[in-house]
Structure 1
């Protein structure tokens, strides 16, 4: 990496008109003014287009937002791969999904995003040559300091690097599938964190919420840079991002439970009960980003009302998540750390000849079986 700290470090400030550090009432007014989209009033799961014949991979699909996302895609006809770390919980989720949607096509495949060996094994074992939809949903939040199997800080390693590697290894199957999409789950909490290329593992001063915000910033920068590179080679693959707002899932209580902090766990449970929207509502931005025909590359979709709850809408994002230089540096660091490069995106200059979008997969696509 660059030796000059001024070059290597990306200090995230937001000089633009929508700042994460402005007074709350000003930001709220801007979110109301700019967060809504009249083209999608009241959009819900019933509005998902038919997904018959499509193959969707959803990470972290055994519970919460991931489970709802997988279930609703299956309800609309997609064959859904529930990619989860726990075999017991993954198989239980498949059984629950089939009980709710008897004609669904769903299956569990083991995937541990905190272990790059597991990511490679998942991709090697997955039998489908074409992937229509990849939803990078799994994540951890505000955990005590820890490291993945490969030695990365847990939140950055799982939330970003694991998904960067998974997307890259599956990329040839997405690139050769007409209409393919990649959706990365971020959070409004991206405003809490910056990216320091010299300290991606937060070794200097670990703060669990700052580290979480950094990982969510990484999700948005990854989406931005991926969308830029796809456009440069003329690909029709769409990369977008989404966030659930404040949705009641087990993610909020996981960290306090791990630390034995009963008071904090109870506080989160009360917040979920009285203030959060349901997981069903929280999954709508993801489902919109994954299926709505008018989603543009690098879109960021979240709840309409102040980014907390409501129907899907274009969401506010900090200007640093649209920084081309930051995206390039994070991409280069992610390739170095994971050892994964994206076949077909080796050059950001448009390839000569026909665009890559719609290219046939190298071998017959295994759709079912």
Structure 2
């Protein structure tokens, strides 16, 4: 009997208690990350919002506390577009917030640009690739001691359904030769997903207690997302106009479900991919087959080496 079949059915409305555990959610101040943080807070865990903007983090923290009685939610300033600031952010997590271990980190924060021109991070990397992938890649290095201090920590990487139709150009990871914003975004999320899968391979090889899981939210629209004022306000007009889309996609509250399950469910295994049940676009979370291109270990290994060169760190080199 598999571990999945020997455990109670998963219920997104009845999450298991996590009192005493500590979770970090990057980009927890808005969008899907806010709902990940809200849902994890309801389990009794301490949830830390990683946010570039302290004012937005304060608003999001107040919103979660207003909805979740006794929520243990806090915030740390975290700018994934500035690699030099990540070590300081983790030091702040340890010292100011007195965090001694992390039971999970959800790599959720991201930048999505719709139009040119091409933009770069503080370190000279294309903004979406540099923030979405390289920032989380480097952050994992600095978080690994805290993750290793927990009994069985998880790194949960939030990919995107948009990455399913993309392929990496390993000779142009920074989109210098041909910049198309939507494609560059999809490739940055694909790079994140390759990282999550490859990280688990390397952690297993190192004998680490930390595991890595990849998730994606399916199709998650603001117009189908319940209001969380002032973080997110859905108008009546938006709700009515989006009603037909609910047959195919969902709101960001539901887009959070695969990540929440990957953090909490003991039946979730390292190296797995989780997404929505219905066509990968909507519904409750399920373990889905690994996408064919994500299973290409040679691409994952080459991306890993390139990421090490670009960031100067190697997250898989520290055994836990």
- The interval holding the TM-score normalised by the smaller chain is 0.7 to 0.9
* 1:288 pairs with 2:265: no
Distance 1:120 1:84 in 2: 15
Residue among 80, 103, 106 paired with 1:132: 103
Give the Å deviation of 1:143: 3.5
| 1:186–1:172 distance in 2 versus 1, CA, 3 Å | same
Q: Which runs of 5+ in 2 are unaligned?
A: 226-236
Alpha-carbon distance, 1:297 to partner: 1.0
Partner of 1:104: 71
Runs of 4+ in 1 over 6 A off after TM superposition: 37-42
Q: Are 1:73 and 2:44 counterparts?
A: no
Q: Does 1:278 align with 2:251?
A: yes
Partner in structure 1 of residue 317 of structure 2:
345
TM-score by length of 1: 0.75
For the pair shown, the structure with the greater C-alpha radius of gyration is 1
Specify which structure has the bigger relative contact order, considering alpha-carbon pairs within 8 angstroms and separated by 6 or more residues. 1
SS at match of 1:125: helix
> What is the distance in 1 between the residues matched to 2:8 and 2:251?
18
Aligned pairs, number: 297
**Residue 302 of structure 1: how far off its partner (Å):** 0.6
2: distance between equivalents of 1:61 and 1:126?
A: 15
* Deviations 1:243-296 (CA, angstroms, capped at 9, x unpaired): 11111239x9xxxxxxxxxxxxx99x9558843412221111111111111111
Aligned to 1:198: 171
C-alpha change, 1:59 and 1:220, in structure 2 (3 Å) is same
User: 1:234 maps to which residue?
Assistant: 207
Contact 1:136 1:183 in 2 (8 A): yes
2-structure distance, mates of 1:102, 1:314: 31
| Shift in Å, 1:47 | 3.7
How far is 1:147 from its partner?
Answer: 1.0
- Out of 207-216 and 317-326, give the one that drifted further: 317-326
- Tell me, yes or no, if structure 1 residue 161 matches structure 2 residue 161: no
Q: Are residues 39 and 213 of structure 1, via their aligned partners in 2, closer, same or farther at CA, if it must alter by over 3 Å? A: farther
Aligned counterparts of 1:70 and 1:116: Cα–Cα separation in 2: 24
Alpha-carbon distance between aligned partners in 1 of 2:110 and 2:8, rounded to the nearest angstrom: 29
Once the two structures are TM-superposed, the CA of residue 236 in structure 1 deviates from its matched residue by 2.4
Residue 102 of structure 1 deviates from its aligned partner by 2.6
Aligned residue in 2 for 1:314: 287
* Structure 1 position 123, deviation (Å): 1.1
Equivalent of 1:332 in 305, 308, 311 = 305
* 2:200–2:211 contact (8 Å) kept in structure 1: yes
- Please show how residues 1-369 of structure 1 align to structure 2 within 5 Å: 43-127=10-94, 128-144=99-115, 145-249=118-222, 274-275=245-246, 276-342=249-315, 345=317
Shift of 1:196: 2.3
Contact 1:249 1:279 (8 Å CA) reproduced: yes
State the distance in 1 between where 2:243 and 2:107 align: 23
1:172-230 deviation digits (Å, cap 9, x = unpaired): 21123111000000011112322222211011111112111211211111011111011
Normalising by the residue count of structure 2, what TM-score does the alignment of the two structures yield? Answer: 0.85
* Aligned equivalents of 1:134, 1:48: Cα separation in 2: 18
Q: State the distance in 1 between where 2:310 and 2:183 align.
A: 21
Residues in 1 aligned to 2:184 and 2:6: alpha-carbon distance in whole angstroms: 35
Asked if 2 retains the 8 angstrom alpha-carbon contact of 1:155 and 1:212, the reply is yes
Q: Give the match's secondary structure for 1:197.
A: coil
Per-residue CA distance 1:288-315 (angstroms, 9 max, x = gap): 1111111111111111000110111123
